[in-house]
Amino acid sequence: MITLTTDFGIKGPYVGEMKGAILTINPEARIIDITHSITRHSILEGSFVMEQVVKYFPPNTIHIGVIDPGVGTERRAIIVEGDQFLVLPDNGLATLPLKWIKPKAAYEINLKKIEGIIGRPISSTFHGRDVFGPAGALLDLGYEPSRLGKEIDLERIVKLDIEPKKKDNFWILKVIYIDDFGNIILNLEDYGKPEYIKILGKEILYLETYGKVKPGELLALPGSHDYLEIAVNQGSAAELLELRVGDEVEVELVYKEG
């Protein structure tokens, strides 16, 4: 089973080309489109989406992620092997899904080997079709990743700086995702149950779900992805607070005394 997460969009031929490359190598491949609508070049957004996906897929699933603004440069194309596989550029995209696949080894894909397998030159601008898709197809056929490239230091895979930071009574948090409803997901887990939060000069009640406030009102809540979430009932918190993925913001969590 192969999943695809990209920023290709759906207007052009790119998704179809990548699927064709996969199916040429492995006609029986089961391909599942996660999304091709990651914000262009947003590695952080792509990493969050891939994290959520790997939590719910069975062992040995191959997850191909292509958000790759550095395509054709010296950045590595890699495979991470765990109880599932990640096939992606080494640009930080692996940061969040790594937490869930029990990684045990990583490999740098040898482009010459892939070129020999696909029988044509690799494009310098479309590694989704010519590198990551074929590598994923071969893994799905049972190839050992060591046949596709040399082992590299798992600890030296590029990681995004998304650890929450404490400053006095505040957290310095980063917006790691904004969904189609405008809900803001922040990089804080395991924070207990505050009474309310303070952000951008606003005090926002912390509640269980969206319908606990009137339409148009802000709330904070435990999102379905286990991160702190800020939302507007039937509205967009991102628009109201003017926040985007990657923005940093000071947040104070206020708990009941006693």
**Based on the domain organization, do 152 and 196 belong to the same domain?**
no
**Based on the domain organization, do 95 and 200 belong to the same domain?**
no
Question: What's the pLDDT score for residue 76?
Answer: 98
Last residue in a domain, options 132, 156, 180? 156
Domain count, the chain: 2
**Based on the domain organization, do 98 and 40 belong to the same domain?**
yes
Domain CATH for 33: 3.40.50.10790
pLDDT per residue as tens digits for the range 56-110: 999 999 999 999 999 999 999 999 999 999 999 999 999 999 999 999 999 999 9
**Based on the domain organization, do 16 and 128 belong to the same domain?**
yes
State how far the alpha carbon of 111 is from the alpha carbons of 90, 92, 121, in Å: 14, 20, 10
Above 80 in pLDDT, residue 14?
Answer: yes
Last residue in a domain, options 106, 124, 156? 156
Question: What's the pLDDT score for residue 179?
Answer: 96
Question: What's the pLDDT score for residue 80?
Answer: 98
Q: Which domain holds residue 223?
A: 165-254
pLDDT per residue as tens digits for the range 22-40: 999 999 999 999 999 999 9
Q: Tell me which residue of 120, 117, 111 sits closest to 73, measured CA to CA.
A: 111
**Based on the domain organization, do 144 and 189 belong to the same domain?**
no
Last residue in a domain, options 156, 179, 209? 156
Above 90 in pLDDT, residue 249?
Answer: yes
Mean pLDDT of 9-19: 96
Rounded to an integer, what distance in angstroms lies between the CA atom of residue 176 and that of residue 244?
Answer: 9
- pLDDT band at 223, cuts 50/70/90? confident
Q: What is the 3-state secondary structure (H, E, C) of the chain?
A: CEEEEECCCCCCCHHHHHHHHHHHHCCCCCEEEEECCCCCCCHHHHHHHHHHHHCCCCCCCEEEEECCCCCCCCCCEEEEECCCEEEEECCCCCCCHHHHCCCCEEEEECHHHHHHHHCCCCCCCCHHHHHHHHHHHHHHCCCCHHHCEEEECHHHCCCCCCCCEEECCEEEEEEEEECCCCCEEECCCCCCCCCEEEECCEEEEECCCHHHCCCCCEEEEECCCCCEEEEECCECHHHHHCCCCCCEEEEEEECCCC
Tokens coding 89: 């550029």
Give the bridge partners for 233, in sequence order.
none
Domain CATH for 173: 2.40.30.90
pLDDT per residue as tens digits for the range 112-168: 999 999 999 999 999 999 999 999 999 999 999 999 999 999 999 999 999 999 988
Rounded to an integer, what distance in angstroms lies between the CA atom of residue 83 and that of residue 54?
Answer: 10
Maximum separation of any 2 CA atoms in the chain, in Å: 68
**Based on the domain organization, do 143 and 111 belong to the same domain?**
yes
Question: What's the pLDDT score for residue 258?
Answer: 54
Question: What's the pLDDT score for residue 166?
Answer: 92
Classify residue 103 by burial, with Cβ atoms within 10 Å: 0-12, 13-18, 19+.
Answer: buried
State how far the alpha carbon of 69 is from the alpha carbons of 97, 135, 174, 178, in Å: 19, 19, 21, 20
**Based on the domain organization, do 100 and 189 belong to the same domain?**
no
- pLDDT band at 257, cuts 50/70/90? confident
Question: What's the pLDDT score for residue 167?
Answer: 87
Amino acid making up residue 169: N
**Based on the domain organization, do 109 and 11 belong to the same domain?**
yes
**Based on the domain organization, do 141 and 94 belong to the same domain?**
yes
**Based on the domain organization, do 216 and 150 belong to the same domain?**
no
State how far the alpha carbon of 205 is from the alpha carbons of 136, 208, 255, in Å: 45, 10, 11
**Based on the domain organization, do 105 and 225 belong to the same domain?**
no
pTM: 0.95
- pLDDT band at 169, cuts 50/70/90? confident
